[in-house]
Structure 1
């Protein structure tokens, strides 16, 4: 199917009449037909009315309004919920030519007051039944009405919605023709909170049945459906979950179900199809600003097509535009382009019936309602003038206006031309430097069989720290089955009422650990919520959508589980030091009861993370007078281990975590060498070149270096890229994440679209987490493998990092040994050199003129002595890759130092140590005097060396050093701050360290006060930087050789002279960091920051890259 043409005529003047006019015609055609049934409640009997009765009542209201002075275009507000009176008032107001807005009694008084102030109605229609059921108007609302309104009544032909949009009735009327096309039989009922869908059955000449408010609940709604046997219903997805969640019997009468308002999941559709096997599901998409639903996607009934859902993924597509509507997926960088099939863009709605705009908000109107740039509107004006026959309605008609509404939703075209909505552009948040997709969390939560419904939000805890909170509704039947498999029994808990929600504080405690484990296997650790609140159901607002503002955030004391008798016995067995530490844990981790902490409980398993760890150590220093290092905490994360360390420190004993004499990693090497293949395929680099190309498999493609590796690969002729992406729920999202990363760094080119593909993997799992099909595909397709991804952590021990960093390298080389022979490059780190031996060797060889540390050095002196688990994993991996090289594998081990920003654009990784140091110095107002040289190289050059080493390897397996030419000293690098106007005088390191300790020790920051950028790396910044930042000089003859060969065979550009960082480069990085608001602009009398392309900074914000969110 072809994609929509944004220059097509949408029949701008094709007016078919107002909603009230269509209804009046139906009333004349069949006056005695049943029109509205309001079903029985606990307080009132069933009420039924014919078309003639509703029409007459509507006319009476219209006449009353006109007699009271209401003119065309005046605003009339109706205070009512779904009822017969609302139908009459709605039609009557339209017939009077007024603008309608409905004020639902369920809204809080403050919100009602805002709606009154925004819409400024001339009249109010107050339905007595609404005040009888919901109580009288709140005093502040009544005062607003008394002060501002001369007439009292409410509904749209033109209407203001709750959000302040002025909506034309023309667009609302058009939807009925579309619904009539989708409905194979006249609908008997449409249940829906939206006024348009109360009107839909009436416009079709059908009967409307309205359930009572008390019936729209779990079991009650399903019972109501069985009793009244509607043939058609309209629901929001949230209301659909209420229906199927409480149902036990089928709905044989149901023939059509229309959904609109949110994402409709295939899981809920499966449940509905089981209950109504004859019903067709029509998913519709629309917003308040579009006046109506604007698209549809039909899912045949289970009887007609039992497998209809199997190919649709996790959610139902939004579908195709309805009559007079186009759903456009527009390129987010170049708005003059419609996205091709499969490419994610932003959804725009093109229609004649769009809202007029937001009331009294011209700036927002300019942003959200824009003229169609694809075609000149004069074309439609001239055509309309030619067709002008003097119709009566033209005096109210504003003429053709070819406009687009910017939805803010992301979507893509399917091969059949239907649009799939992929989430919101604004669903991304940033916590502790990590970029997190809330939609992705909910998508993965929804994949757990224990979860029926969920919603993840960011809430601030009692310390004003942003915290991920997931609200979950359990699937009760599955929960009970799970308890049986665990040999556990359910407990009886009615829950606690908190606002509109019923919160379970104890019954589902075990489900939280199960759900957390479920997410840990699918998402990065920073995307796993720390708090789970279990609800009976998610609250809905009057529009049938999840009422996020009313989701409760209980005080931590309420979420804390009571300690059992066994817990209390364990508590009494703890020492006073251990009790104090447990109490400190409970003050930092929401919902943790100190008395339930066991001696072997781990701080991190209980919900602690790196920033809380720093705060814990500061609290221990204050409370227990023990200066515990972060390394001691990571080595002793349990109550017993940490308590013992604290007691030793308080008694004057030294407690250190010195891995330098630890043989664990070298012993591990000896064991793992035996797991390597006896022989490896040896690829021929001469078989690859610009003429016949090369296919690359790349891990870590969405990280900072990974993005530039992808660019360097794709910039070459006839190359293809297969990227390994972690945590994506399907291949579509995986590719979108890769493209988003490349766009965010300003690297993306549309011509790459067909040259990239993805597989979903996880380095912490066997075989790189690839399924069998993906493993075989890569084995048979890739010519080269760049293993760039790694778990980077400066405190974690070797054993914790061995899986993702070492075992993944073994599996990567095993993959190279299957299918095609592959060239293999392993991206290592100069952390493998971080011992005094190589610093002294470098000094000695440089002093005698024999050069720096050679690339041919086997690094065996570092079998002991490396002080970080990360460096140890890289050393072991290097040795394994060397051994595989001796067994035939061809490629390179590339060792970069500090990887700084792009020389051309200034784009930088905000989680880089040096970048954090620059910002931290500005926050402190001082910089330390450190004269060590810094091996820092722009990311572009590092990427070039890695790809060149892969395609042009020296014989065997060789190390390639990436070293700076020239090297700046640390004090020279930091002096760029003063040079560009930051007021940060140089001070001795000890003074600077004391200032940093005082800054951090001041305690928790206030809301909106920024923590020091060095807080996550506080242990590094205060651990004698003049000593720990010493680094050996590196020989790079192999780098020169591969870069020259790359120029000869691939690029025709000789980069063999190397690269380094200059003061101007630092200036560009600072400018970029200012543009993305990571740093404040300088205010001193320094030089002006260099110019950069600021559109890249805008892309960074739009596409959500930078910081630690870029790791894959």
Structure 2
């Protein structure tokens, strides 16, 4: 019988490597506050007699030593006192001044509790957005010290990069171009289509439209261990939104891969099959979180776009239909019109997500100049289906709705929100992509009419939720106080986007009144019957009904 050695050095080395890989992957895809502090590697999970995981028997996580958690002792009286606050709060014997609060086991709740204790000790209200960006005792000491570092407390957007870096990243590499032996693009109807991002909610509706509007086999790139698991993930995602139909499994091919890796994270054999078989690509995959910095989003949102374009040039030239966002347009005070044209301005395009989509959008249109038929769709803020209300709960807008309902108050803020139903977006993209005869490079896909944030929350109040309308500063103070008290709130993880005086620019520009030209879109949809419903009382009730039915929102007391 083989027995594991208690001090097996090879197993320990392997476990350490796995923990490092998991932490690196998490930091690539999650904001720092959501990265697990510790990873525990077990040979197998303890099970109950019914086969479920016995959570009570799981070992308690313990910190593993690494260069990331190397101890640096406090150097000043302020750092010493702050380190003691952290030790008491986190139950640790010592705290290094250069170690992240989140690496030590803190989370978005305990960082609020820590901020309250620091405020009581020093009479200083911390800039929480800056604290989330660099959560160390050393940083905190500079924030509460008598000599505040202007680089720490000043304005700016830490999740984004400068315009020069955006422009540098938006230069298409020389190797991305159809080779002399590449076959010309196939004419529709297409027999094989590749869809990325097919396990998100926009992806689910795109897949449904592709299946309904064509007879093509749809290859769906998805993170999975093998083909069987990939198929299950794709079909389960369709089922989650009520979109699974009989016979779908015969036309859906799950492809294990990763958009953010070379060759789309597939095996060479699978990549060769895609290059030779696929005739058209819809590239929808993206990290869409507003609180993840540009550097962490770049591998998927920018490099992923490059990998898709490389595939489009291999063996046969393939049209690429890229799902972008109206967030690539700069935010401006007052009214400004944005037509369906190539992007030129980087200033006031802020935050990692919007900037990464700006870069990818620009790369797509450069590839068009080299002979790849690319099309870009700039969608508004994608909301629930106008037919069923089905929607992902994991969007900033939906987290904001729930957080305000949990708080019992919403922020009075002069902001327009462009909500566009997901089924309308999917139908528009699929019709144009499958048609093959539309040559325009850019399509704006906004809502039927923007809504003010106050109007949206009035619809929530009309539905039966008793919300108070508060001045932004009062609302922010109530939100922080609620999280400090340990109350559950959906917005706790988004605190980096809110400051004492105003939200971060990613949330939106107050007073901005953009107008989106849709001449190309309207020409392409003419006669199709595809129409966008306005977000009015009737449609918003459909959305809220869905959230209540799924348990995302509690039933309103006054309904």
Q: Which has the higher contact order (CA 8 A, sep 6+)?
A: 2
Name the SS for the 2:514 alignment partner.
Answer: coil
Note the alpha carbon deviations across 1:84-112, whole angstroms, 9 max, x for none: xxxxxxxxxxxxxxxxxxxxxxxxxxxxx
Q: 1:881 to 1:584 in 2, by over 3 A?
A: farther
Please tell me whether residue 777 in structure 1 is matched to residue 262 in structure 2: no
Q: Check whether the contact 1:906–1:1068 (CA below 8 A) recurs between aligned residues.
A: yes
Shift of 1:937: 0.7
Name the SS for the 1:794 alignment partner.
Answer: coil
Q: Corresponding residue for 1:696?
A: 193
Q: Check whether the contact 1:683–1:822 (CA below 8 A) recurs between aligned residues.
A: no
Shift of 1:580: 5.0
Please tell me whether residue 1054 in structure 1 is matched to residue 538 in structure 2: no
Q: Check whether the contact 2:417–2:450 (CA below 8 A) recurs between aligned residues.
A: yes
Q: Corresponding residue for 2:245?
A: 749
Q: Check whether the contact 1:627–1:649 (CA below 8 A) recurs between aligned residues.
A: no
Q: Corresponding residue for 2:329?
A: 833
In 2, the alpha carbon distance for the partners of 1:549 and 1:678 equals 49
Q: Corresponding residue for 2:551?
A: 1077
Name the SS for the 1:860 alignment partner.
Answer: coil
Q: Check whether the contact 1:666–1:876 (CA below 8 A) recurs between aligned residues.
A: no
Please tell me whether residue 675 in structure 1 is matched to residue 177 in structure 2: no
Note the alpha carbon deviations across 1:267-311, whole angstroms, 9 max, x for none: xxxxxxxxxxxxxxxxxxxxxxxxxxxxxxxxxxxxxxxxxxxxx
Q: Check whether the contact 1:907–1:1069 (CA below 8 A) recurs between aligned residues.
A: yes
Name the SS for the 1:907 alignment partner.
Answer: coil
Shift of 1:811: 1.1
Q: Which runs of 5+ in 1 are unaligned?
A: 1-243, 247-474, 483-507, 846-851, 1006-1010, 1048-1052, 1087-1112
Name the SS for the 2:20 alignment partner.
Answer: helix
Shift of 1:768: 2.2
Match of 2:475 among 992, 997, 1004: 992
TM-score in terms of structure 1 length: 0.45
Q: Corresponding residue for 1:332?
A: none
Q: Corresponding residue for 1:1013?
A: 490
Shift of 1:776: 1.2
Name the SS for the 2:194 alignment partner.
Answer: strand
Q: Check whether the contact 2:230–2:254 (CA below 8 A) recurs between aligned residues.
A: yes
Q: 1:809 to 1:882 in 2, by over 3 A?
A: same
Q: Corresponding residue for 2:340?
A: 855
Please tell me whether residue 548 in structure 1 is matched to residue 77 in structure 2: no
Name the SS for the 1:927 alignment partner.
Answer: strand
More deviation, 989-998/737-746? 989-998
Note the alpha carbon deviations across 1:736-757, whole angstroms, 9 max, x for none: 1111111011000121111001
Matches within 5 A, 1:485-500: none
Name the SS for the 1:759 alignment partner.
Answer: strand
Please tell me whether residue 938 in structure 1 is matched to residue 421 in structure 2: yes
Q: Corresponding residue for 1:971?
A: 454
Name the SS for the 1:960 alignment partner.
Answer: strand
Matches within 5 A, 1:122-161: none
In 2, the alpha carbon distance for the partners of 1:512 and 1:893 equals 43
Match of 1:687 among 187, 192, 196: 187
In 1, the alpha carbon distance for the partners of 2:508 and 2:176 equals 42
Match of 1:1024 among 488, 491, 502: 502
Shift of 1:641: 4.6
In 1, the alpha carbon distance for the partners of 2:516 and 2:391 equals 24
Q: Check whether the contact 2:186–2:279 (CA below 8 A) recurs between aligned residues.
A: no
Q: 1:644 to 1:651 in 2, by over 3 A?
A: closer
Q: Check whether the contact 2:166–2:355 (CA below 8 A) recurs between aligned residues.
A: no
Note the alpha carbon deviations across 1:909-961, whole angstroms, 9 max, x for none: 21222222222232222333345332111110111222234334677662211
In 2, the alpha carbon distance for the partners of 1:929 and 1:706 equals 33
Q: 1:1014 to 1:723 in 2, by over 3 A?
A: same
Note the alpha carbon deviations across 1:403-451, whole angstroms, 9 max, x for none: xxxxxxxxxxxxxxxxxxxxxxxxxxxxxxxxxxxxxxxxxxxxxxxxx
Match of 1:1042 among 499, 524, 528: 524
Please tell me whether residue 632 in structure 1 is matched to residue 130 in structure 2: yes
Q: CA RMSD in A?
A: 3.9
Shift of 1:1031: 5.1
Q: Check whether the contact 1:954–1:1042 (CA below 8 A) recurs between aligned residues.
A: no
Q: Corresponding residue for 1:799?
A: 295
In 2, the alpha carbon distance for the partners of 1:927 and 1:884 equals 44
Shift of 1:1075: 1.2
In 1, the alpha carbon distance for the partners of 2:444 and 2:44 equals 58
Which has the larger share of strand? 1
Q: 1:1015 to 1:1031 in 2, by over 3 A?
A: farther
Matches within 5 A, 1:869-948: 869-948=352-431
More deviation, 928-937/603-612? 603-612
Q: Check whether the contact 1:629–1:1019 (CA below 8 A) recurs between aligned residues.
A: no
Q: 1:939 to 1:585 in 2, by over 3 A?
A: farther
Note the alpha carbon deviations across 1:804-823, whole angstroms, 9 max, x for none: 11111111101111022211
Name the SS for the 2:255 alignment partner.
Answer: strand
In 1, the alpha carbon distance for the partners of 2:159 and 2:5 equals 53
Matches within 5 A, 1:585-596: 594-595=94-95
TM-score in terms of structure 2 length: 0.84
Q: Check whether the contact 1:632–1:645 (CA below 8 A) recurs between aligned residues.
A: no
In 1, the alpha carbon distance for the partners of 2:139 and 2:348 equals 24
Please tell me whether residue 735 in structure 1 is matched to residue 220 in structure 2: no
Q: 1:753 to 1:1065 in 2, by over 3 A?
A: same
Q: Corresponding residue for 2:73?
A: 571
Q: Check whether the contact 1:784–1:823 (CA below 8 A) recurs between aligned residues.
A: yes
Q: Corresponding residue for 2:17?
A: 514
Please tell me whether residue 480 in structure 1 is matched to residue 46 in structure 2: no
Q: 1:479 to 1:657 in 2, by over 3 A?
A: farther
Q: Which runs of 5+ in 2 are unaligned?
A: none
Q: 1:885 to 1:1076 in 2, by over 3 A?
A: same
Note the alpha carbon deviations across 1:642-698, whole angstroms, 9 max, x for none: 544554775888713514998645335325625243634799778112xxx342211
Q: What number of residue pairs does the alignment pair up?
A: 547
Q: Corresponding residue for 2:222?
A: 725
Name the SS for the 1:983 alignment partner.
Answer: coil
In 1, the alpha carbon distance for the partners of 2:293 and 2:53 equals 44
Please tell me whether residue 810 in structure 1 is matched to residue 292 in structure 2: no
Note the alpha carbon deviations across 1:340-388, whole angstroms, 9 max, x for none: xxxxxxxxxxxxxxxxxxxxxxxxxxxxxxxxxxxxxxxxxxxxxxxxx
More deviation, 1031-1040/812-821? 1031-1040
Q: 1:967 to 1:730 in 2, by over 3 A?
A: same
- Kindly name which structure, 1 or 2, has the bigger radius of gyration based on alpha carbons: 1
Q: 1:603 to 1:722 in 2, by over 3 A?
A: farther
